[in-house]
Amino acid sequence: MNRLLTLACALACLAAFGASTASAAPKLTNRMVTVKITGSMKTTWSATPVPDPGCQNKPAGFRGSGTETVEWNQAKVLKGQLTGSGKYWGLMLFDNKNKPASNMPISGSVQRQGTGSTIACGKDMGVETEPCVGKKVFDTKAQFAFGANRLFSVQDNNITMTTNLYPQCDWVWDSMVVRTGAVLINPGMGKFDPKRLANGRSSVSLNSHKEERCEDEAGTLDPGIRCTTVTDWRVSLYPYKTRTRH
């Protein structure tokens, strides 16, 4: 009798534990959202010639200063299907024909301002920045992905190059290590909050922010150059509203 009573209590406790575990498990979210993406990347630079031991310590290098501002936004608002729970999420995009898509079309502009010249053995070689400045426009495709550890990433999937926009430019911008070579837009990475993603009644903004300096890349840049780049991405998810026909 005691054995039967003990077994019954054990089974009851096990059932209660299973029920509590099931109730504690995060609920699966599967909802439609409207996706919008924007971003900017701003660079400031200055260049000062430094003594050159190979030229009797006369100044050499670059002289000048300037700015570069890249801004972009989504060319078309897209519909997406947000699915997941806890640490694991996914976003399926749909194009204007309601077919699955992996990229988000974005368009933007880059504005470069400033002047500069090369200094050789104390001699100013003249202004060389004309092919490197001015406003250019571009179209590309961004790719967004949820990752592990509650992280997300977003990037220019076409890898737009500054050399395509300023083909005659061969100056200080090419040496900046605050971007990957001549890649126009730095990628972004940030953290997301699963609770906010699961809330179907509110919008969610997924933001990434990164600051980089030339001085932090020792040995890869002319010592007289100083530059800082600030890159921001924002991916906004809004509750999807279907249009009603009257």
Look at residue 34 in the predicted model and tell me its pLDDT: 93
The string over 140-179, giving b where at least 16 C-beta atoms fall within 10 Å of a residue's C-beta and e elsewhere, is bbbebebeeebebebbbbbebebbebbeebebbbeebbbb
Eight-state DSSP code of residue 184: S
Instruction: Give the C-alpha separation, 218 to 44, whole Å.
Output: 18
Tens digit of each residue's pLDDT, the chain (246 residues): 444 333 344 334 444 444 444 445 568 889 999 999 999 999 999 989 999 998 899 999 889 999 999 999 987 788 999 999 888 999 999 988 889 988 899 999 999 999 999 899 999 998 888 998 999 999 999 999 999 889 999 999 999 998 899 998 877 776 665 666 688 999 999 999 999 998 888 899 999 999 988 776 655 567 788 888 999 999 999 998 765 444
CB 60 within 8 Å of CB 50: yes
**Could you tell me the pTM of the whole model?**
0.81
Instruction: Give the C-alpha separation, 235 to 52, whole Å.
Output: 47
Look at residue 28 in the predicted model and tell me its pLDDT: 86
Look at residue 110 in the predicted model and tell me its pLDDT: 95
Look at residue 178 in the predicted model and tell me its pLDDT: 63
CB 205 within 8 Å of CB 35: no
Tokens 């924002």, residue located: 234
